[in-house]
Structure 1
Amino acid sequence: MFVDQVQVFVKAGDGGNGLVAFRREKYEPMGGPAGGDGGNGGDVIFEVDEGLNTLMDFRFQKHFKASRGVNGMPKGMHGKNSDPLIVPVPPGTTIRNADTGDLIADLTEHKQQAIIAHGGRGGRGNIRFANARNRAPELAENGAPGEELYVKLELKVLADVGLVGFPSVGKSTLLSIVSAAKPKIADYHFTTLAPNLGMVQTEDDRSFVMADLPGLIQGAHSGIGLGHQFLRHIERTRVIVHVIDMSGLEGRDPYEDFVTINEELRQYDEKMMQRPQIIVANKMDMPDSEDNLELFKEQVGEKYPIFPISAITKDGVRELLFAVADTLEKIPKNQFETDEDETQTEERVLYKFEKDDDTIEITRDDDGAYVLSGNTIERIFKMTDFNRDESVRRFARQMRHLGVDDALRKRGAKDGDIIRLLDFEFEFIE
């Protein structure tokens, strides 16, 4: 089964907790703090594996969680950083934040990597909080939580040439005779249910990758038929080979077919019409094909090169392949990706290095309690060890520094009111 679109959950590893410890060595009665820092949590990294050609594996595993860092240890020893979790994906995979739609990565080359979720920082041990005023702090941090998010993976087939056209016009047959690909071929519509790739080599030893894309029909761009599921795969092709049934045996007009398919491509993405397009007049061994071809040439004009062939008898196929190879030589591999790549890079930078949002939202529960929420305050809460009084006092100072006390007063909080933050409840005290 060909799977080209999935949604998965990724969770980077939490940081290890810092340790509160003191030196207890002989002749060192006042040895001081010696609690080490926790290790960093593991990142979740997606890496291209050119041996994969589908997202099928993600149908059976939809959760990916990296390991957390090791906790700090006595004698100032640092906990071990966790190794990243490497997730293999096929070349041509784009990764987006499922909630916001922001592009995170576009992976096309073998071994190319992208960090999808960053691991949490390790918490600091009490050796890091010692100063001249507090030489024996009983204070340490818990590790920061790792990033977690749902991501949407889309696979766009990496091919130089894309075969498009109505169902049963001979796309699969053409691919089967010019490459070693063995697509299913039958005399009914929608025989091809998934893209097929084949490596094509011309007689003068030029080669390129050709993709047979499932048949489009009118309205495909809006979700009608099967073609809409695979329109995205045309985006990466440099040349579009438009296969048309010139025999007209099914009662369709070749020119109307040509106009309809091009309109679907334009409706999907206006940039598709910038691709060089070669028209293949197939089934020229059938009656009436010659007359239909003459009329078709008059209607189309000289804008597109037209190659009459018969995929069954292989007449005209050699000239077609030479023309495709010649066209590809004139087009740099990244010509149609430059603008998109610059935009994607900019989006990735904005997404990955965005500063923490210090905004704090205050709402009321049905029981009258004030509920606090916000990225920064929730992260500080998770990194606080509430088993130690000194850590609790530090958390209270951080709350005041963020302006939480003043914000609660403005919302009408009074002495003794319940304040709720995640699973923790405490009283508001003036």
Structure 2
Amino acid sequence: MNTADLGLPVDVPSTALFTDQYELTMLRAALASGTAERRSVFEVFTRRLPNGRRYGVVGGTGRVLDAVENFRFDTAVLTFLREREIVDEETLEWLAGYRFRGDIWGYPEGEVYFPGSPIMRVEGTFAECVLLETVILSILNHDSAIAAAASRMSAAAGDRPLIEMGARRTHELAAVAASRAAYVGGFATTSDLAAGFRYGIPTVGTSAHAFTLLHDSERDAFQAQVTTLGRGTTLLVDTYDVAEAVRAAVEVAGTELGAVRIDSGDLLLVAHRVRQQLDELGATETKIVVTSDLDEYAIASLAAAPVDAYGVGTQLVTGSGHPTSSMVYKLVARAESADPKAPLVPVAKKSTGGKTSVGGRKWAARRLDSYGVAEAEVLGTGPVPGGLADRQLLVELVKGGEVVAREPLDAARERHTRARAGLPMSATQLSRGEPVLPTEYLHESSGS
């Protein structure tokens, strides 16, 4: 098994500079004040879901584990920090030996979450934990937004497969991460070869309008494609006249033609006409793939259309209007002193303006109703009630600095399917609404 099978990056560059400068200046000041070694607990959560969304989807956990593992201040990075005079020599010396040796717990990838859910909990010294804020948030905020959009689209698509094809609509590296997150959220394939190479996601792709325009006639283009790729290929039929193209496609490939793709026009109307024409020509098994700026609403509107698969690009890789999950990384508990045995004290931001947080090291569990359907997200800082002990959501991801929760990407994909199925039916409604589960807090003093 190679690294792509486990979702590991092919290369392992340092991730240490995926960091905001204030993390290093806080470290410098904490080292000087003697507080850097205080045991600390940080939590990642969001105060609210994007407007109108019913649930969130955890995406990017596997990438976070890679990033933490590769968070190293090598010679080139240290030289950059020294030349810019970002930190002093004492701090540089400390960074040279940096390795995260703490613990990380979190919702497993593919799980759903709600406002306040402690999606990830990072524990260790203040110094080693604070440096990870930006890289963790940048991954989780992006990937969770894409996974949530993908989940809504896959719910709207039902049993019809979805193709991720947004690489040309975003940053080249973001495209790879987006493809991975979309796969977790329910997409079946990707057009992005880098995503296929790095994460083992199935890849697909045939031709664009340029290929048709290259040839002297549409028929010549179809003949070239069928000769090269076989009768099971997908022919793009909306470069000129759709009806003429469908007729030519079947004449060239025969009734064994794999599929036709429609990329423009009134997709509902055109799909019905194309299906009728294909059936009349005897190509009853030829599938119809539609593309063209689809989102979950457009996909839902095509539920009654004779469509077999959807290709989605722009709306997916931009989170279908919500490109971030608004997650934050907050200190919720810290030790009274640098003594490793010092008890933890809950801490929380209390400022006005809606940016408050709840202190204390939290557990999370999902309570079910008498039918086995989720009815509440329950968070607490004390003992876990007996009825929720076997419903806890956080799992150990890193122990003593060592990753302990590697898993194939398919495991996260399957987990999401189960998690979404366990929510109330209204979770997959596309109409705007409140989170499908309320978040309940059981306030008790934090343990050490």
State the TM-score, normalizing by the size of structure 2. Answer: 0.29
Q: Which has the higher contact order (CA 8 A, sep 6+)?
A: 2
